[in-house]
Amino acid sequence: MMAGAPASVGSSSWSSRNWCFVKVYTDEGVVGIGEGSGWPRVVQTAIEDMRPILVGEDPMNIERIWQKMLVSTMGNGMTGTPGSGAMNAIDMTLWDIKGKALNTPVWNLLGGKMRDRIRAYGHAKNAERALELKEQGLTAIKTGGVHRVADQVEDIRKAVGDEIDIMVDAHGPPWYNSKDAIIVGKSLEQFNLLFYEDPVPPDNMDALRRVQDNVDIPIAAGERHSHIWGVRQLIEDEIVDVIQPDTGRIGGISQMMKIAAMAEAHYISVAPHSGSLGPIAEYAAIHVLAAIPNALILERVHDDVPVRYEVTLPHLPTVDGYIEVPNLPGLGVDIDEVVAAANPSKGNTTRAGKEGDGSYEPGTYDEHVYVQTRYSRQKHLRAPNSDS
């Protein structure tokens, strides 16, 4: 279904946001609900393609089915997040089915509850929005971009005070090269960020390692990878301090739990990516975070598009910066199919940013480059309070 971009985020890259929900029906009448991302319209096709290998399986055998999906699709090569997104959706439904069949919440199947509520953060592009979120009770706020980020963080810090945690997401396009990411990161050290997210593209882990070695801020990454193997090096080489598997495309709750265990052995915390996801994947993230010891925080779009609050039953509110862990069997959520059908998908690709917004260097927007070295460096990469 089409979701689009909430006004509170103000990002044109979200205008093509889609959510792909799936239901799996059993012969005993138990229905499981899941969500898959990583290019949702392609994920939908992949789910349909896997139907023949799933029909007739015992839904209680979650790991066996996951392995079957993996080996049944490997002939297509490394399918990336579209492939893992499809597996993710099915895996999520199976956990929901098992919880409902056993009349217990998913978090109980994952080892029991570590905590009763999950800390959540919101997004702010400026100090005014940050203050709105603080007034709503949030205690953590993420900002981002690649244009004069330190000035942006300084304005927000002055507005919200020292008791609020701030995070910076520096993903492109255009992405920083490693040297510019280090320069920007060092200018942010004074603000004691909770983490510095995706400062360089995800394709080159050596570049991220250079940032980790030169910036005294916890480094976060991992949302663009699939399966345990996609994040293995980030964890085993301790390139990140915070791992951010995307709950809609990492490969499912099964993979989330394995990644959390891998991270725990390296004292790495878990902060699932959930910004562009729909509400079903968010429910799954809450169950995982409730059950693992190294949970840090959950990303959440506050004041999202109205359809978010209409398509799920019930919606879990953020109260004083936290989300209560649901106690209903399974994931504890259902979808309104009428609402979903009334918002059909319209496309999944868009151009990020716009001419003159500061992301691309002047006159280069139509070049569509992936990584770009910054010009006017004294002006754009300077630390706050220095001469412009």
Pairwise CA distance, residues 150 & 157, whole Å: 10
Pick the CATH number of 1-383 from 2.40.50.140, 1.10.3720.10, 1.20.200.10, 3.20.20.120: 3.20.20.120
pLDDT digits (tens, 9 = 90+) for 332-364: 999 999 999 999 998 888 887 788 888 899 999
More confident residue, 353 or 107: 107
Residue 94 tokens read as 């199976």
Residue 166, pLDDT above cutoff 60: yes
Average pLDDT in the chain: 94
Give 383's DSSP letter: P
Read off the pLDDT of residues 178-206 as tens digits, 9 standing for 90 and up. 999 999 999 999 999 999 999 999 999 99
pLDDT of residue 18 exceeding 80, the answer is yes
Confidence at 9, pLDDT banded by 50, 70, 90: low
- Asked whether residue 12 carries a pLDDT value surpassing 70, the answer given is no
Cβ neighbours of residue 119 closer than 8 Å, sequence gap 6 or more:
139, 140, 296, 297, 298, 321, 322
- H/E stretch holding 45 reads helix 40-54
Q: Closest Cα partner for 352 from 44, 122, 17?
A: 17
pLDDT score, position 316: 95
Model pLDDT, residue 202: 96
Catalytic residues: 171, 273
- What pLDDT, on the 0 to 100 scale, is given for residue 380? 77
- Say if CB 330 and CB 301 are below 8 A apart: no
Domain boundaries, the chain: 1-383
Mean pLDDT of 153-159: 97
Which residue in the block uniquely carries the two structure tokens 């993996």? 70
| 196 DSSP β-pair partners | 168, 219
Q: Which of 187, 165, 164, 162 is nearest to 176 (CA)?
A: 187
- Please determine, for residue 388, whether its predicted confidence score (pLDDT) is greater than 60: no
Region at 210 (left for phi over 0; alpha for psi -120 to 50; beta for the rest): alpha
Q: Cα–Cα distance between 309 and 316 in angstroms, integer?
A: 9
pLDDT digits (tens, 9 = 90+) for 230-248: 999 999 999 999 999 999 9
Q: Which residue has the higher pLDDT, 4 or 234?
A: 234
Q: Of 357, 353, 316, 355, nearest to 334 (Cα)? A: 316
Rounded distance, CA 348 to CA 248, Å?
A: 15
Buried b (16+ CB within 10 A) or exposed e, 333-344: bbbeeebbeebe
| Residue 69 binned pLDDT confidence (cut-offs 50, 70, 90) | very high
Instruction: Count CA atoms closer than 13 A to 310's CA, side-chain side.
Output: 13
Confidence of residue 314 (pLDDT cuts 50, 70, 90): very high
User: Tell me, what's the pLDDT at 355?
Assistant: 87
Q: Does the structure show a pLDDT above 60 at 387?
A: no
Burial of 264 (0-12, 13-18, 19+ CB in 10 A): middle
Say what the pLDDT of residue 164 is.
98
Question: How far is C-alpha 80 from the chain's CA centre?
Answer: 16
Please state, for a pLDDT cut of 70, what percent of the chain lies above it.
97
User: In the block, which residue shows the tokens 């899941």?
Assistant: 34
Q: Tens of pLDDT along 205-222? A: 999 999 999 999 999 999
